[in-house]
Structure 1
Amino acid sequence: MRWDSLFDDLESQLEHELNSDDSDLRAEEYRHRLGRLSLRERIATFSSQNGRSREPLTIDLVTGETIVALPQTFGRDWFSADLVSAGESSGAALVLLDAIAAVIVPKPAVTRSLDVADVPDSEPRLTDRIGIAFALRDLCRRRSFVQVHCLNGVSAVYSGTIDRVGRDHFDLAVHESGVPRRERNVAHQRLIPFGQLAYLRL
């Protein structure tokens, strides 16, 4: 009987140690996965990817502005979003990831922001490799009217049409909203480095 009791005790200890090792291994894998997460990936969890519904995020920008955005499509260094004001859509925007000072995530949504698919061997989608220059060239081709919010202050907002896009900057033909981009309506050309761009409102 005493031997049976001893073996039962040893078996119980071994099972406890094995379970403890499994728990430690899972905890270490979780910490390792979190250590690889990027801000871009966490924001992307609030978009409609993977069949989930979009959720609005409050984003503080380095300009001092705060926007509420429903993330949509993600490029390499930017993402598109629908802006929300007073609970209603207030236009679309392209937001530069480098212009983000903080993202305010409601407590119930923190778990969702950590729920990033862990598939390191998968090929990135084409849009994942598209830089801001490509997106700006598309807006230039479409002759879209834009509001450009720059990093040199909250009041640094310039409106107009993108005329051309260089390697590290773009030309904005500055003119008022509601008037076509005609030479007589253009006040001046503003050359804006990509590094000074916070977001574009469309």
Structure 2
Amino acid sequence: MRWDNLFDDLEGQLEQELGAEEIDLRAEEERLRLGRLSLRDRLWALSRGEGSEPARVSLSNGATLELSPRTFGRDWVSGDIVDASSRRAQFILPLDAIAGVRLSRAQVSTSLEDASTPESERGLSRRLGLAFVLRDLCRRRQAVELVLPEGVITGTIDRVGRDHLDLAVHEVGTARRERLVSHYQVVPFSRVLLVRL
């Protein structure tokens, strides 16, 4: 009889240790998963969450914007700027320009969810860098507003190099005509905080 109690006790201890080991293993796996999350991954999860509300993003110049991300590249995100007006301006935001993201409690949970990137998201756009997107805007002769640490400049992108762009500076709402261009500005990508379309 005493042997039965001893074996029952040992069996209970073993089950308890195995359960604790499994809990520790799951906790370690979760820590590793969170350690691999990038800012891009968290923003992507936010944009895919149910009833996704805009993310409040602080730029490195101190400006704060409400953004609804839609498309993600290697080092940039694009989507809509949500403000008090009914118009939604489109944007391209280099990930390096983000100083912080302010989240609600629900958004924190959503951003941490295991939102494995589907096959369609692993495609071409995920590999495209900022230079590629800016070259497309240049090719389309799209008027842009560049937000830089020292202020905002408007114009049309004339050329895009490896790490910089040439902007023909002209007033908002005017077409890029040589006589309307006030000057040309060479801007390193590292100075671009936001491109508003």
Q: TM-score range by the shorter chain?
A: over 0.9
Secondary structure of the corresponding residue to residue 31 of structure 2: helix
Residue 13 (structure 2) aligns with:
13
**TM-score of the two chains, using structure 2 as the length reference:** 0.92
In structure 1, distance between residues paired with 2:32 and 2:85: 37
CA RMSD of aligned residues (A): 1.9
**Number of residue pairs aligned between Structure 1 and Structure 2:** 195
Amino acid in the other structure paired with 1:63: N
In structure 1, distance between residues paired with 2:183 and 2:114: 45
The 1:65/1:31 distance shift into structure 2, 3 A limit, reads: same
In structure 2, distance between residues paired with 1:178 and 1:188: 16
Q: Which string of whole-angstrom CA distances, capped at 9 and with x for unpartnered residues, describes residues 9-54 of structure 1? A: 1111110000000000000111111111111111111224xx8554
2:171 pairs with 1:176: yes
Secondary structure of the corresponding residue to residue 93 of structure 2: strand
Unaligned runs of 5+ in 1: none
Amino acid in the other structure paired with 2:174: V
In structure 2, distance between residues paired with 1:180 and 1:23: 63
Secondary structure of the corresponding residue to residue 53 of structure 2: coil
Residue 78 (structure 1) aligns with:
76
Residue 139 (structure 1) aligns with:
137
The 1:90/1:118 distance shift into structure 2, 3 A limit, reads: closer
2:187 pairs with 1:192: yes
Q: Which string of whole-angstrom CA distances, capped at 9 and with x for unpartnered residues, describes residues 94-140 of structure 1? A: 00111111000111221111113457xx9942111111100001101
Residue 129 (structure 1) aligns with:
127
Once the 2 structures are TM-superposed, how far is the Cα of residue 142 of structure 1 from its aligned partner? Answer: 1.0
Secondary structure of the corresponding residue to residue 137 of structure 2: helix
In structure 1, distance between residues paired with 2:121 and 2:70: 20
Unaligned runs of 5+ in 2: none
Amino acid in the other structure paired with 2:113: D
Once the 2 structures are TM-superposed, how far is the Cα of residue 87 of structure 1 from its aligned partner? Answer: 7.4
Residue 160 (structure 2) aligns with:
165
Residue 30 (structure 1) aligns with:
30
Matched-pair identity in %: 53
Question: Higher mean Cα deviation, 36-45 or 51-60?
Answer: 51-60
In structure 1, distance between residues paired with 2:153 and 2:9: 75
Secondary structure of the corresponding residue to residue 180 of structure 1: coil
